[in-house]
Structure 1
Amino acid sequence: MPTTPFPPHPPIAELLDAFRRGTSSPPELAEACLARIDAHDAAVNALPTRVARHEVIERAERLQRSIARGEPVGALAGMPYCAKDMHRTAGVRTTFGSPIFAGHVPAENDPVVQRLLDADAILVAKSNTPEFAAGAQTFNPVLGKTRNPFDLSRTVGGSSGGGAAALACGMTIVADGSDLGASLRNPASFCGVVGLRPSSRCDPTLRSGADAFGTLNQIGAMASRVADLRLIERAIRAPAMRRPLADWVGQLDADATARRARAARPLRLAWSIDCGGAMAVGAPVRDAISRAIGCLRDQGVELVEAWPDFEGADECFQVLRAAYFVENFAALYRGHRALMKDTVAWNVEQGLALHAERIAEAARARSSIFANVAAFLRGFDAWLLPTAQVLPFAHDIAFPTRIDDRPLATYIDWVASCYWITVSGHPGLTVPAGFAREAPGEPLLPVGLQLVGHFDRDEALLDVGERIEALLAPLATAQRGPLGA
């Protein structure tokens, strides 16, 4: 069972079965999620923009009638859904966390939103994000800060922080997001839920006008458990003619026979806490990950302490990230610099200062790191490492400047455990691994374990994730946060 400060809703598959049997209904589920929003979001601020209540209930009632008549419905029929405020929603305010777009109401949905609506999920709200999703601390000048349900004085991470917090509180069943460096995995870890950054060529959600060959930023999802995440990801990921590098035959890998064969094999996993000291990891996180590794070993999982070579990953990510910001935000920077936060402007300025040679070097480094990780994973089902290098920190800290006794050079160094995986292009899944506290007397806070899988075998990674999720249940049992009943 995932770690949340509230009892989680039943799995999506059970909810759909209950709808078919008539023992529950989409309106009942919608009312349950809306009640949690009403009761708790004033404190958490996960979902600052909401769809009108009557629209949510009317949509749920229409689905209930369709189900009762035996009509075909989507794979997520009746599941309440929050869309990240970076994703355009037709007729619903989309601010991107920026004063430039404070009153922006799009005319159409982004592809990820449309796909989830086509699967009959019910949009209930927009989830909070930092400005233009830049940074792993969810706050912005338009909609404020999102608070961690386990300790309201601490961050939810980011940039998909609103969705992660909403899941932890049971305000939603489905939460989409995006992940450039850590933006699905970090908040999922900080809020005790699951999140997947897919393999880097598997993104059918390309919005019009974007780089059709870009793979650095990936659309994905978070959920309360891996089984739910699988259903959400399948709704998002399907053949898409606008994404030239999408290989959906390889990506789905959903053949039932192959899945049964994988489930029957003993797991063989590599693991590392800090890649031989190359990565700074705080002591509480070290202790929690060590307990999780011990828990897996005690249950018969074969574990080998080892790690791939990530030499050059930091420089590579900085360069590719800077180029991404030029591509996506340079025009806004030139026209609205006074309304743009400094860290976004800094990223754009770093990109504008790039020379072609540095970009070429970064591309070569990325290819080398991809090959290193691919070769390393041969013989392993997955590689395990911390999702986040620190515990959720106080809101008045914009970002960590040191971890224990190690100073950090930039505002993103504390999420290297995630952005190294971004550079490699391999899928990264975070599952709850237990709890830790900063010091005696401090609240227990969630810690996530990141699983890195084989490229374009995201379904196989989800299979491993479900097994590890079950094995770690003794450590990841729900703990009551300050909002818990």
Structure 2
Amino acid sequence: MKEAGVELAGMGAAELARRIALRDIAPSEVMAAHLTRIEAANPAITAIVSLRDPDTLMAEAQALDDVAPRGVLHGLPIAVKDLVAVQGLRTTWGSPLFADFVPGADDLVAARMRAAGAIFIGKTNTPEWGHGSHSFNPVFGATRNPYDLTRSAGGSSGGAAAALAARMVPLADGSDMMGSLRNPAAFCNIYGFRPTWGLVPGDAMGDSFMATLATEGPMARNIEDLALLLAVLAGENPEVPFGRPTAPYGDLLQTDLRGKRIGWLGDWGGAYPCESGILDMCRAGLQVLADQGAQIEDIPPPFPAEQLWQAWTTLRAFLNAGAKGGLRDTPASWDKLKPETQWEIEQGLGLTAAEVHAASVIRSRWYARAAKLFRRFDALVMPAAQVWPFPVEWRWPQQINGQMMDTYHRWMEVVVPVSLIGLPALALPCGFGPDRLPMGMQLIGRTGSDAEILAMGQCYHLATDWPGRRPPPL
């Protein structure tokens, strides 16, 4: 390498991009460092799947060594979440139905990263169809937590989070419907940002008016890298509705927390049971913000949790049935779906129009109530998960503190208030518990406050840098 002693696989994306632009390092050196790390770490973790031929990747990187950067991701090795179609690269959605599928075109997220200069090295593992916050599927198996290989990396962006934590990639895309960015970020000691819904547009396929629960977003080991990727992913797609204005996020990370008012929602008055120690770790994270001048205030539950859950499960099932309900009529395909996906479809197909409308009314009332909260507070905080990273052999946690979970995703109910109304939420790592397992909290903003939330996260990162504590050697 041109600069001895620099561990390229441990550097952030923005720093790598700066050094590539200055010709201090070459894309081929960056690629070689990450491929070496993947070879050492990935067999034990299964974070990256469908890895492309290393010799081909090195040739592509070498071809960029003496080329002027054509984008902010020029020459950076990126593995795309396996729920995103990438032209010419095996894309499975974690499903045996698509185990050998190779798309002929990029989804929008992949197209924007490609245009910014990224080199796609493979995919990151995910649960089948993204259903469930534990990344396992019958095609590739389970992704393990780099901090404890016996534990889950979360999901559905578990492969992305684990790859980042293990230094296999400098940056990653993720997606979030029910905490799929926030849960794995908490489990793997990194940052995950769910942007305001509509800021990162979807593709013009299927329904683009009613499907407003899920969004793509960036994942990284520092806030500057989150801002870098968000700027790449965000921006209007004129073929879909509800676009939002973007901003130069990387230029807006300077802020002062003095006088900022932050509301602590905790476990929503006991509605969201949390395993022992999680709330204490989040309070320690809040203290970091308080030490920088933020005013922290405990606030009571602002809306009935059971109504939020009712609206969430109704709308989620409605959308899943609409997108995949046709598989029920094909027994050979239906039998290959995971039970959780079958349950979602069956729940959705049994809904009435009145039930869907009632769920939308609840959602609307919660949005109005949240808007009033943000007249008093600059941000709200809740845990990013209700359980510690659990054994990788489990399908999902069956109980929390003796309280049985009545669905496969009830143990992640704490993420629903954000997802239901499309608020921006930044998963901040809070350190490690008694068993040396990571945990995190959600920093939640009003609609459109993405830049402000990232800036607050930057203050937190500079004071803590929890992702700098690397996983134990594999």
Answering whether residue 185 of structure 2 is matched by residue 188 of structure 1, we say yes
Query: 1:253–1:24: structure 2 CA closer, same or farther, 3 Å change rule?
Result: closer
Which whole-Å CA distance do the structure 2 matches of 1:254 and 1:189 have between them? 23
TM-score normalised by length of structure 2? 0.93
Equivalent AA in structure 1 for residue 16 of structure 2 = L
Tell me, what secondary structure is at the counterpart of 2:386?
Answer: coil
**Which position in structure 2 is the counterpart of 1:319?**
314
How does 1:442-481 map onto structure 2 within 5 Å?
A: 443-473=435-465, 476=466, 478-481=468-471
Query: 1:115–1:308: structure 2 CA closer, same or farther, 3 Å change rule?
Result: farther
Query: 1:91–1:307: structure 2 CA closer, same or farther, 3 Å change rule?
Result: farther
Answering whether residue 378 of structure 2 is matched by residue 360 of structure 1, we say no
Equivalent AA in structure 2 for residue 222 of structure 1 = M
Which whole-Å CA distance do the structure 1 matches of 2:328 and 2:216 have between them? 24
Answering whether residue 244 of structure 2 is matched by residue 247 of structure 1, we say yes
**Which position in structure 2 is the counterpart of 1:31?**
32
Equivalent AA in structure 1 for residue 156 of structure 2 = S
- Conserved? CA contact 1:138–1:161, under 8 Å: yes
How does 1:157-196 map onto structure 2 within 5 Å?
A: 157-196=154-193
* Cα deviation code 1:248-293 (max 9, x no counterpart): 2xx437596x765x44754321113212212111112122112222
**Which position in structure 2 is the counterpart of 1:75?**
72
How does 1:7-406 map onto structure 2 within 5 Å?
A: 9-67=10-68, 73-248=70-245, 251-252=246-247, 262-263=255-256, 266-307=259-300, 309-311=302-304, 312-335=307-330, 336-406=333-403
* Cα deviation code 1:183-232 (max 9, x no counterpart): 11111110111111111232323253343442111111211111101110
- Conserved? CA contact 1:73–1:119, under 8 Å: yes
Which whole-Å CA distance do the structure 2 matches of 1:263 and 1:293 have between them? 15
Alpha-carbon distance, 1:430 to partner:
0.3
Which whole-Å CA distance do the structure 2 matches of 1:186 and 1:35 have between them? 28
Query: 1:363–1:75: structure 2 CA closer, same or farther, 3 Å change rule?
Result: same
* Cα deviation code 1:329-387 (max 9, x no counterpart): 11223321111111100000000000111100111111111111121122322111110
Tell me, what secondary structure is at the counterpart of 2:335?
Answer: helix
Equivalent AA in structure 2 for residue 290 of structure 1 = R
* Cα deviation code 1:90-131 (max 9, x no counterpart): 111111111111111111111100100101111111011111
Query: 1:302–1:423: structure 2 CA closer, same or farther, 3 Å change rule?
Result: same
Deviates more, 1:135-144 or 1:276-285: 276-285
Alpha-carbon distance, 1:308 to partner:
5.2
* Cα deviation code 1:434-456 (max 9, x no counterpart): 1113xxxxx30111111101102
- Conserved? CA contact 1:252–1:458, under 8 Å: no
* Cα deviation code 1:52-92 (max 9, x no counterpart): 2233223322332113xxxx520111221111111111111
Alpha-carbon distance, 1:418 to partner:
1.1
Which whole-Å CA distance do the structure 1 matches of 2:99 and 2:467 have between them? 39
Which whole-Å CA distance do the structure 2 matches of 1:369 and 1:176 have between them? 29
Alpha-carbon distance, 1:398 to partner:
1.3
Deviates more, 1:314-323 or 1:332-341: 332-341
Which whole-Å CA distance do the structure 1 matches of 2:18 and 2:411 have between them? 42
Quote the RMSD (CA, aligned, Å): 2.0
Equivalent AA in structure 2 for residue 180 of structure 1 = M
Tell me, what secondary structure is at the counterpart of 1:211?
Answer: coil
Tell me, what secondary structure is at the counterpart of 1:116?
Answer: helix
Q: Which runs of 5+ in 2 are unaligned?
A: 1-6
Which whole-Å CA distance do the structure 2 matches of 1:59 and 1:430 have between them? 34
Which whole-Å CA distance do the structure 1 matches of 2:119 and 2:356 have between them? 42
**Which position in structure 2 is the counterpart of 1:483?**
473
Query: 1:268–1:242: structure 2 CA closer, same or farther, 3 Å change rule?
Result: same
Tell me, what secondary structure is at the counterpart of 2:67?
Answer: helix
Alpha-carbon distance, 1:480 to partner:
4.9
Which whole-Å CA distance do the structure 2 matches of 1:57 and 1:91 have between them? 17
Tell me, what secondary structure is at the counterpart of 1:252?
Answer: coil
Query: 1:307–1:122: structure 2 CA closer, same or farther, 3 Å change rule?
Result: farther
**Which position in structure 1 is the counterpart of 2:3?**
none
- Identity over aligned residues, as a percent? 34
Q: How many residues align?
A: 464
Q: Which runs of 5+ in 1 are unaligned?
A: 1-5, 438-442
More RCO (CA 8 Å, sep 6+): 1
Alpha-carbon distance, 1:478 to partner:
4.0
- Conserved? CA contact 1:111–1:206, under 8 Å: yes
Equivalent of residue 428 in structure 2, options 403, 415, 431: 431
- Conserved? CA contact 1:296–1:472, under 8 Å: no
**Which position in structure 1 is the counterpart of 2:419?**
422
TM-score normalised by length of structure 1? 0.91
Alpha-carbon distance, 1:294 to partner:
2.9
Which whole-Å CA distance do the structure 2 matches of 1:301 and 1:472 have between them? 16
Deviates more, 1:207-216 or 1:337-346: 207-216
Query: 1:64–1:212: structure 2 CA closer, same or farther, 3 Å change rule?
Result: farther
- Conserved? CA contact 1:7–1:478, under 8 Å: no
Which whole-Å CA distance do the structure 2 matches of 1:185 and 1:76 have between them? 23
- Conserved? CA contact 1:96–1:131, under 8 Å: yes
Query: 1:43–1:266: structure 2 CA closer, same or farther, 3 Å change rule?
Result: same
Tell me, what secondary structure is at the counterpart of 1:339?
Answer: coil
Alpha-carbon distance, 1:307 to partner:
4.9
- Conserved? CA contact 1:111–1:207, under 8 Å: no
Which whole-Å CA distance do the structure 1 matches of 2:452 and 2:57 have between them? 35
